[in-house]
Amino acid sequence: MDPVAATPRLYGAAAPPGRLLPWEWARSRLIAARDYWIASVSASGRPHTRPVWGVWGTFGFWFSTGSSARRNLLVNPLISVHLPDADEVVVVEGRARSSAPEACLQAYNAKYSWSFRADGDGVVDDDGTSGAAFLVVPTAVFGWESGLGSPTKWHPSPPGTGDQVDW
């Protein structure tokens, strides 16, 4: 089941009636992206942003990092992930949890011609470089076209419906 689309509250932007972007518009961009930016917050409230590689699937967004984001996410799992394109914007908000599932590793290795393998809740490559691995489960995804055109917010179906969202 696709996430539910709605008009978000954004300064100076409104979708024309009936003109919300389809979920496939955001999903295809999240899958095709090579680079992603993550933003986390330290225990003291200091923001931390970094580019990362990752994979998008029905599970959400999976990535690995050795940066300060690891410490931040262990204290405060709230995170945003966005694509580097400022004309066709996709921003994911969610919660990160330590995770290194085999399906994510396989997708990542194929996408980047890499050699990650699971190492507890983290990953290690053939050179012995290791890092923390996280799965971001979205709570909301925002998207809009150039000039804040057709702003759309996707969110899971209402609680209690029993429907499983395929991100």
The string of pLDDT tens digits covering residues 100-139 is 888 899 999 999 999 999 998 889 999 998 999 999 999 9
Model confidence, pTM = 0.89
Confidence band of 158 (pLDDT split at 50, 70, 90): low
Q: Beta strand pairing status for 89-98 and 78-82?
A: antiparallel
> Considering the domain boundaries, does residue 161 fall inside one?
no
Amino acid 94: pLDDT:
97
> Considering the domain boundaries, does residue 165 fall inside one?
no
The string of pLDDT tens digits covering residues 46-86 is 999 999 999 998 889 999 998 899 999 999 999 999 999 99
99: domain range?
Answer: 4-148
Mean pLDDT of the chain: 89
> Considering the domain boundaries, does residue 162 fall inside one?
no
Provide the CATH number for the domain around residue 47.
2.30.110.10
Number of domains in the chain: 1
Confidence band of 156 (pLDDT split at 50, 70, 90): confident
> Considering the domain boundaries, does residue 158 fall inside one?
no
The two three-digit tokens of residue 56, written as one number: 């998008």
The C-alpha atoms of residue 67 and residue 71 are separated, in whole angstroms, by 8
> Considering the domain boundaries, does residue 164 fall inside one?
no
By C-alpha distance, which of 72, 42, 61 is closest to 140? 61
> Considering the domain boundaries, does residue 43 fall inside one?
yes
> Considering the domain boundaries, does residue 163 fall inside one?
no
